[in-house]
Every structure is written in C-alpha cells, then in structure tokens.
Chain A
Amino acid sequence: MTGEPLLRVSNLSKLFGSRIGCTEVSFALWPGEVLAVVGESGSGKTTLLNCVSTRLEPTSGVAEYRMRDENWRNLYDLSEAERRFLMRTDWGFVHQNPADGLRMTVSAGANVGERLMAVGDRHYGRIRSTALDWLNRVEIAGDRIDDEPRGFSGGMRQRLQIARNLVTSPRLVFMDEPTGGLDVSVQARLLDLLRSLVSELGLAAVIVTHDLAVARLLSHRMMVMKDGRVIEAGLTDRVLDDPREPYTQLLVSSILQV
C-alpha cells in the first residue's frame, strides 16, 4: 500500500465501568485495503468496530479519517450531522443480522434507493434504474425489486444489505460478521461476491469475524484480539500460516478440518 492511509486509529480504549471493552488499539487502514479483526466472542472485536464506526463513543483515544476533501478529521470531534452524513455517504455498515441494516417493510428497490434519496436524488426513474443495477450486481433477480426483504432468504437479505450500503460508492465499509448465520454454500457465494466487489470498487473495509476462513479469503491484513487487546497483527497469510502468539496458534489449530 502506498500513499496516505484513509483511517488512523491510535490508542483507542472503551471501558464499560471497570470492565474492558477494548483497550489501547492502534492501527491504520489504507484505501482499498481489507482488515480483518478476529478473536473469540467477548474479545472486544465488535466494541472496537462500533467505536471506530462512531456508533459508540470511546473512553479515550483518537480515530482520524481522511475526508473526501483530503482533510484529516478526528471522528469524535465531528458534529452529529457530519457524522451521520459520513455514515450514509462515504461509509457503509453491514450488520450481522440483515434485519438491523434493512428496512424490512419497504421494497428492495426502496432499500437500495434510500441513501440516494437521502443525499438529494429526486428523480424516480434514475433511482430505480440505479437500484436495479445494484440488485443485479449482488445477484438478486430484477423482478424482486418491488418485493419486501421480509420475503427474502437470509443470503438474499445479506446481499441486499450490501447493495444498500454500496450504492453511494463509499470508500470505507464496516462489516460485523457478514457471513454469520448463513449456511456454508451461501457463505461461499457471499464471500465470492464480497471479494469481487471489494477489488472492483477499491473499497477499504474493516471486517469483524470469528471465522478465520472469512479472514483468509477476504482480508489483506488481520488483527487478533484477546481480552480487549490486539495481541498479534500482520499480513493475513503470515498470521495464519506462521502464528507467533500462543493464543493465535491455538486459534489457528482450532479450525475444524473436514
């Protein structure tokens, strides 16, 4: 990776009373780079993701983001209006449970079009053709455009959620266990789709997962978390093939072989 990073996180900590959510986490993310955060449940992955994506306010630390105008801004100094604008234009957030990220009672087309309307697009025909194009790209049949996601399968819902997030061409996407709760063949298809979209669009992404296979397939670099701390970080292949920390070795050796 060359040039300036997109996101710089330094010494980020989130405490819940005396309990540690995550502590002293620092990393940088470059444009087009996919960073996986792995670790067992309770290790602070999701807390970290929520802090970096400004859904949670950290106890201490700084996260700086290079805005589209090339200015570096501390995310926690942004006004709420700026933050919400950033979240629906330059960022995406893919939830583990698609129902959290979708409007289940409006059609697939409106779900994809919502962000466009939020940034001021007022041309129905254009919104609809963009939505159709995106449904196509995430392999949802065009004739489902007027159906509500309530009638969609888990895999389709997840793909719809991805389309809804990517329609404004964000530069950074956060994903919280994007393949959680899907069966393996659907997972494989989704991973395939994510991988091609990420490389096609040059997206930077932070992916939280407990599934090392997901990290291997999607990410360039990864961080291993335990008890709220990052215990090992590096290139994905290096960490998975040559884990240094005992805990990482345990994690890697715990993968079930078929």
Chain B
Amino acid sequence: MSFAPIYNFAYLDEQTKRMIRRAILKAIAIPGYQVPFASREMPMPFGWGTGGVQVTAAIIGPEDVLKVIDQGADDTTNAVSIRAFFAKVAKVATTTHTAEAKIIQTRHRIPEKTLGEGQVLVYQVPIPEPLRFLEPRETETRKMHALQEYGLMHVKLYEDIAKHGRIATTYAYPVKVEGRYVMDPSPTPKFDNPKMHMSEALQLFGAGREKRIYAVPPHTAVVSLDFEDHPFEIQHFIEPCALCAATGVYLDEVILDDHGGHMFVCSDTDNCEERRDAGHRGKLAGHSLEAAE
C-alpha cells in the first residue's frame, strides 16, 4: 500500500492554473500593471517564493527545462528546494545552465548571460507595489497608477540625494515600463535593471502574499527613474571576480576571516563555473585537483 500523495502535474490543479494563466495574459497585455490573482497556499511559507512558484507551476510543461536561482546562485537553499519541488511534482528536467533553461525562476538576480527568445524569467516578488513605503493606502496607490501620478516616486529619489549625496537606492530600483506604469523590479540589484530593457525573454513577476502578478513582455522598454542632474547609474566593482576574473558582472563580497580578509565573487554561480571551465582563473581560484596530484 502506497501513501505517496498523488499530485496533479506541477502541484496546482488545472482550474487554478487556468486562473493564474488568465492573470498572466492580462499582465502581458498591460506591461507593468499589477494584476490581482487568487494566490493559493503553497507548501512553503510566504516570502520563500510562493508567487514565483505559482507562476512557474502555471506555465511549465513536461518538456520544459527549469533553472532556479537565489541571489544568482543555483546551490542555495531556496533554489535547491524549489528545483527539487518541480522535479518531483512535474517531473521536469532541471539544469543550472542559463542557456539550456526554458524557464528560470529567480530570487533577486537576473542571470549574467543575456536571455534569448523563448526563455521565460519568473521573478519572486515580496512587495509588488513600488509606492508602498511612500503611500500606505492601497486605494490611493491604485489611483496613482491609474492617473499616472508618479511624482511621489521621485520624492523618494530626492530624499536619497538629500541624505546621501547620490541616489542610494541599490535594489528594487523603480522603473517605468513602456512609458506608462512605474514598476518594482523585485529586489534585484539596480545593476540588473538595464538587462530588463528590450529583453528578448518574457519576464513574469509573481507576488504570492500580496496576490499580484505583473509582466514585462519581450522587447519592452524598461527605463530606470532618475533626475536630469543625477542620472541612473549601476554599481561598479573595482576588483574582478576572485574565482573567474570576470569583470562587468555583479559580485558578492564574501568575508574570509576575522581580520578583514574578504573576496569578491560572481553572484551568478553558473556564469562563474562556465568561465572557470573555459580556463579563466581569478587570484583565489586555486589549482584543479588533477594538477595537484
């Protein structure tokens, strides 16, 4: 006798998937607009990617190849467990290679490798409303979106410059989509904002707790907000990646000891591994095991 639970393909029942797909279609039709949807309980807590998981479950097919990243890495808890979840409930192939993936579910990063046509990037979103911390009333923020009253967003950037001398917002940096809706790109570093602009891939955003789905269709203009005299800038890193010597990529700082020792490494682990396989070596890369023998 088997007690194994019998799940529908990709965990959610077909009617739920239809409901989510309708929300996704509407979101694609109105780029940047937050579409409400009847978010379900998922077998994981809110804040762990319930929105992204529902979007992925609604769009994934048996032939798709899934990649899941968390802060750019394929091997962190969130990424590993969501990948295992879909391998179990949808029996889909999974990968860590960006180029091979059909669907990439992400938390807080966009892969370094440029995404191509036919690929779908699914973002996990904690707070979909970019105006939330400026205007607590949901009725009011909806009205502001409807009437395109976005002056308040610049008040936040003004405050940044007044306090720090520059726009100090480094993640969840507000963008304007196709000249209409102001959108929160989820807490990705602003380093990734330019990758959203005119991307060939479809970008879907799911917020489970807040029950919102929004989208950026392929070839859509995504412009980061700024001031004329304080233009938008991405982060710059002085050192290359300590493992693969990559420059022009987003780096994480890793503390090595209690004496101030630290290293900067690629946040995108797949990109870093591929570069090392191709023979690139950073200053802390060490030797391969065969060479040591």
Contacts and interface: CB of A to CB of B under 8 A. Distances in A.
A10 B154 CA distance: 40
22 contacts: A80-B147, A84-B147, A103-B134, A103-B155, A106-B134, A106-B156, A106-B159, A107-B162, A110-B162, A114-B155, A115-B151, A117-B155, A119-B151, A122-B154, A122-B227, A123-B227, A124-B158, A124-B228, A124-B229, A125-B229, A127-B158, A145-B162
B235 to A, nearest CB: 20
Nearest to B133: A105
A122 B228 contact: yes
Given A81-B147, A128-B162, A106 B155 contact: yes
Contacts of B162: 107, 109-110, 128, 145-146
Contacts, number: 55
B149 interface: yes
Nearest to B154: A117
B163 interface: yes
A118 interface: yes
Interface of A: 80-81, 84, 103, 106-107, 109-110, 113-115, 117-119, 122-125, 127-128, 145-146
Chain A interface main SS type? helix
Given A106-B134, A122-B227, 13 more contacts: A81-B147, A103-B155, A109-B162, A110-B162, A114-B152, A115-B151, A117-B155, A117-B158, A118-B151, A124-B229, A128-B158, A128-B162, A146-B163
A58 B163 CA distance: 44
Nearest to B226: A122
Contacts of B154: 117, 122
B149 A84 contact: yes
A118 B152 contact: yes
Contacts of A107: 159, 162-163
Nearest to B167: A124
Closest 5 pairs between A and B when the two form their complex, measured CB to CB: A118-B151, A117-B154, A117-B151, A124-B227, A123-B228
Contacts of A114: 151-152, 155
Contacts of B227: 122-124
Interface string B130-150: 000010000000010001010
Contacts of B163: 107, 146
A118 B153 CA distance: 9
Interface in B151-192: 151-152, 154-156, 158-159, 161-163
A124 B228 CA distance: 7
Nearest to A116: B151
A135 B147 CA distance: 30
Interface string B226-237: 111110000000
A153 B163 CA distance: 22
Contact of B159 (A80, A110, A119, A122): A110
Contacts of B228: 122-124
Nearest to A123: B228
A254 B152 CA distance: 46
A81 B143 CA distance: 9
Contacts of B149: 84, 118
Nearest to A83: B147
Contacts of B226: 122
